Chain A
Amino acid sequence: EAAVTQSPRNKVAVTGGKVTLSCNQTNNHNNMYWYRQDTGHGLRLIHYSYGAGSTEKGDIPDGYKASRPSQENFSLILELATPSQTSVYFCASGERGAEQFFGPGTRLTVL
């Protein structure tokens, strides 16, 4: 089965601090995605990538950057974390037009 891992699983950060969330996939999928999930909003797409070296803005990219240094790794970077970014973050991988495989999620709390 497809394998997507995320680290850290839980993170507490301070307002104004830098946070990096990491994602690794062993499926050799071209596409990777970062979502956040909040009560009442469902899954919202932050950034995605269709291959190493590429990053594209999703529906809510403000305050976030992404990096795809290799086929396997996709990072989400919060340069200046704010309390409004407190959420559960999911990474996913998949091919275009196909099922997405999700990682276990990272619970981020910004104080």
Chain B
Amino acid sequence: QQKVQQSPESLIVPEGGMASLNCTSSDRNVDYFWWYRQHSGKSPKMLMSIFSNGEKEEGRFTVHLNKASLHTSLHIRDSQPSDSALYLCAATDTNAYKVIFGKGTHLHVLP
């Protein structure tokens, strides 16, 4: 069973719209969450991280974390065609060397 579940698998939003991506861990030992972005044909690059309950904003990107439910979400406002990519959620606990990745959400922003 996948320990990090992401939804939806695919998402289409118009340019200028809001994209909302979800991620939940089934591992109660998880402490840290990351969001990575991977453009087609490229390698994943870390976009945002969140370790504490609440919200974190960086430009057009906002990430939320609810540690009780082990749920994180990424919101992209004013979406641009350049935001079209695979978004990977990752989770780990501070004592582990391993990071567990979800299968990702394919975001398509239509001009």
Contact = CB atoms under 8 A, between A and B. Distances in A.
Interface of A: 31, 33, 35, 40-45, 48, 50, 56, 58, 90, 94, 96-97, 99-100, 102-105
26 contacts: A33-B99, A35-B101, A40-B103, A41-B103, A42-B88, A42-B102, A43-B101, A45-B99, A45-B100, A48-B97, A48-B98, A90-B43, A90-B44, A96-B96, A96-B97, A97-B93, A97-B94, A97-B96, A99-B49, A100-B90, A100-B99, A102-B45, A103-B43, A104-B42, A104-B43, A105-B43
B110 interface: no
Interface of B: 31-32, 34, 42-46, 49, 88, 90, 92-94, 96-104
Q: List the 8 shortest-distance A-B pairs measured between CB atoms, nearest first.
A: A42-B103, A102-B43, A43-B101, A97-B94, A99-B46, A102-B44, A42-B101, A42-B104
Given A42-B88, A48-B97, 18 more contacts: A35-B101, A41-B103, A42-B103, A43-B101, A44-B101, A45-B98, A50-B97, A90-B43, A94-B99, A96-B94, A96-B96, A96-B97, A97-B31, A97-B32, A97-B92, A99-B49, A100-B90, A104-B42
